[in-house]
Structure 1
Amino acid sequence: MRDTFSDLQRSDLATLRAAIRGGAYRGHTAGLGAGYLQANVVILPEPWALDFMRFCQRNPKPCPLVGVSETGDPVMRTLGRDIDIRSDLPAYNIYRDGRLAGTANDIADLWTGDMVAFALGCSFTFEHALIRAGIPLWHVENDTTVPMFRSSIPCAPAGPFRSMMVVSLRALDADRVDQAVAISRRYPLAHGGPVHAGDPSDIGIADIARPDWGDPAPLLPGQVPVFWACGVTPQAAIAAAAPPLCITHRPGHMLITDIPEDAEVPVLAQD
């Protein structure tokens, strides 16, 4: 019997990772792996890796770098005891020459000896803390993917990698916004506090009902749109750089690590 989302919300990490690796679960990871850091993933051929690392270092808000593999080694040894980057995400995007060419649930057939994998912190991590504080999140409650948008906030370029910042949206009751800001600031490896709250047009977003990635979410009376830097930003930079091959997570479908969500710096996993 296939694992359901509600079953996996109550599962330990080993069970959750086995369900993803074995193909029993292919959905989004919002609400899963409570207590542990989730990560966006970018995989590039080694000739492109150094410039991409510089892009992350220059833009830590949307690209908080939490792990880098050895060249050609698919095991993310600093993020957990048993993480294979080729199979441990529910879904992957495949880019060729900067264009989305397809999706996959396993990339073992695409992995080569010159690839480098990067893991970047994800806002799903601080969402657990918001939920514990009693702040409702519509996309979690309704089993959808958080809406994400291209903004007009520029990122610092590095080599061929350049883009505007991608942001994720959560509509919050006005009287809970300050609390959500304070909570999320405690998670610097998961984008930290928001980059904007209020009028979406101030950051170049014309219509929050039409996200560039993810699913639309309602803005109810008395709510404020709050935007956090988003780890989909590298996917926009990949379009500009146009490497011959790049593999990323499918938006909303993250790597769940063994790093505690409240870590201030990545902690090396022990064998």
Structure 2
Amino acid sequence: MGESGLDLRRAARAGWEGLTVGRARGFVQANLVVVPADWAGDFAAFCRANPRSCPLLAAGRPGDPRLPALGADLDLREDLPAYLVHEAGHAPRRLASLRDEWRRDWTPFALGCWFGAEAALAGEGIRLRHVELGLQGPLFRTGRAAVPVGRLRGPLVVSMRPFAREDVPRVAAVTAGLPRSHGAPVHVGDPAVLGIPDPDQPDWGEPLRPEPGEEAVFWGCGLTALAALQASGAPLFATHAPGAMLVTDLLETLP
């Protein structure tokens, strides 16, 4: 039996701080965003208005570090490999645990992550070069705006992975059937079309240029929510660290 979401959460709780890319294949991975209760309504509405970037998997209650719908024995304060705490006017702080940071009004949200699509693509025999390299891959703020809601507005953020040109139609078809992992690509080809000036300078992750015979394929990314919170001046919130996702007990299956 392969590695499960619970296995990976227990490893993180025991101190593992690696990337979740390529791990627990077939289990839905999630972006974690924890906001003060007075921002929770706007945040949930922002996710609903931008479902391809921010597919909302679960919303919690203020002060409760659990999301029971996503997994057994799940504690959001320590079951991710790494976290970032964001305070307005300061650089994010990277932490191995949120246990000492957790506040009574913090309200957690889990948003779908592209990593959950990897098992379906691998099952189709599609090469995942970023996984072979052990990379998350590049993520970019684009020149396009997300749909604004209430206090929240900001740029669309996308992730990119390169695929063999002949595989791109299958990649698009497979991921279109996985809405919890961002669904179909938002763009294939030239990053300049998205307002990305330099693909070798990602905002997060690592540069990964397409090789000859490959195409750059872009998906909406849950960091759209992070960018909106930052742009909108949210005073204090927490997220997963890039590439260190919440791995759930949900299975990512095609319909």
Q: TM-score range by the shorter chain?
A: over 0.9
Q: Secondary structure at the match of 1:202?
A: helix
Q: Identify the match of residue 130 of structure 1 among 113, 117, 121.
A: 121
Structure 1 residue 168 corresponds to structure 2 residue 159: yes
Contact persistence 2:163–2:217 (CA under 8 A):
yes
Q: Deviations over 1:150-185 (max 9, x none)?
A: 112221111221111110101111111000000001
Percent identity of equivalent pairs? 42
Q: Deviations over 1:77-127 (max 9, x none)?
A: 111111111011111111102653311010011111111000000000112
Structure 1 residue 21 corresponds to structure 2 residue 51: no
TM-score by length of 1: 0.90
Q: How many Å apart are 1:47 and its aligned residue?
A: 0.6
Q: Identify the match of residue 61 of structure 2 among 58, 70, 75.
A: 70
Which residue identity does 1:14 align to in structure 2? L
Contact persistence 1:189–1:263 (CA under 8 A):
no
The CA distance in 2 between the partners of 1:137 and 1:12, in whole Å, is 20
Matches within 5 A, 1:106-255: 106-255=97-246
Structure 1 residue 12 corresponds to structure 2 residue 7: no
Q: Secondary structure at the match of 1:78?
A: helix
Q: Deviations over 1:12-63 (max 9, x none)?
A: 333322111110x211101111121100010011011111111101110100
The CA distance in 1 between the partners of 2:198 and 2:140, in whole Å, is 9
TM-score by length of 2: 0.96
Matches within 5 A, 1:69-108: 69-97=60-88, 99-108=90-99
Q: Identify the match of residue 29 of structure 2 among 26, 34, 38.
A: 38
The CA distance in 2 between the partners of 1:84 and 1:98, in whole Å, is 29
Contact persistence 2:31–2:110 (CA under 8 A):
yes
Q: Give the paired residue count.
A: 255
Q: Secondary structure at the match of 2:212?
A: coil
**Structure 2 unaligned blocks of 5 or more:** none
The CA distance in 2 between the partners of 1:165 and 1:13, in whole Å, is 28
The CA distance in 2 between the partners of 1:98 and 1:132, in whole Å, is 45
Q: Deviations over 1:238-268 (max 9, x none)?
A: 111222210001111100011111277xxxx
The CA distance in 2 between the partners of 1:184 and 1:59, in whole Å, is 17
